[in-house]
Amino acid sequence: MKKLSAVLCLVFSFVICTAQRSAPDAIETSTGKLSIQPILHATLAMTWNNLTIYVDPYGGAKAFEGLAAPHLILITDIHGDHMNLETLKAIETTRALIIAPQAVREKLPEELANQTIPLSNGASHKQFDITITAVPMYNLPETEDSRHPKGRGNGYVLELGGKRIYISGDTEDIAEMRALTNIDVAFVCMNQPFTMTVEQAASAVLEFKPKVVYPFHYRGQGGLSDVEQFKRIIQEGNSSIEVRLRNWYPVY
């Protein structure tokens, strides 16, 4: 009886956990659907062409229950909400290729470091028919004590199935982001004092004009940023940009 109760408890917990997670979205590509699963904060999973991609795995094993093990892991920076060793050790990574900045690779355990290809800003790597280009992410003004100095971390642009996907990493309103072109899907951060204000993020998005944008990484020292305000600014400035508001802070 006790064993049955324990099993039922585990099942119930799983249902509650997955019910709080946003349902995955789908983007049509030239080679089938790209599925986008928000996970937590800056963490997401994508599936495409029978491949699973994790971005900045964070949240422990529970955050990834029900998801396939990754073939590709992208890590943007050394901070614990992006390079989270507890989570990397908890999930199945044996078949995963990791793409990360050199600063991240240097902090990984030897086994994971051996699975990692370091990319610097501007460099690209092609794997699984996906071209991954590292793009700058940094704070302004550029100072020696910056939380995110230029060149240490990466944003990423992924090209797959004829689509271009932008993942901002922890960036402020930098010229390199505003200069992006032909972005189909963008994941854009907005939390103070670490990255951008809602207004800065919206202004940048209105300049580089992605077809779809997800505000994510919006938990700051003062709580959650006003993503509804972000959506309003975008809709008033360019109604052709689709803003997708999803739950990036479920309770796992």
**In this structure, what is the dihedral angle of CA atoms 25, 49, 39, 66, given to the nearest 10 degrees?**
100
Amino acid at the residue 239: S
Q: What is the per-residue pLDDT across 86-145, written as a single tens digit (0 to 9) for each?
A: 999 999 999 999 999 999 999 999 999 999 999 999 999 999 999 999 999 999 988 877
The torsion of the CA quartet 6, 12, 13, 19, rounded to 10 degrees, works out to 170
Q: Which tokens in the block code for residue 25?
A: 């979205």
pLDDT for res 19? 45
User: How does DSSP classify residue 10?
Assistant: H
pLDDT in tens, 187-229: 999 998 899 999 999 999 999 999 999 999 999 998 999 999 9
Whether this model's pTM surpasses 0.75: yes
pLDDT reading at 15 higher than 90: no
Rounded Cα distance between 116 and 108, Å, is 9
What domains are defined for the chain?
23-243 (3.60.15.10)
pLDDT of 42 above 90 = yes
What is the DSSP track for 159-212?
EETTEEEEE--S--S-HHHHT--S-SEEEEE--TTTS--HHHHHHHHHHH--SE
pLDDT at site 196: 95
User: Given a cut of 50, is residue 4 above it in pLDDT?
Assistant: no
Whole-number percent of the chain with pLDDT over 90 = 85
The predicted-structure confidence for 143-198, as pLDDT tens digits, reads as follows 877 899 999 999 999 999 999 999 999 999 999 999 999 999 999 999 988 999 99
HSE-up of residue 109 (Cα within 13 Å, Cβ side)? 9
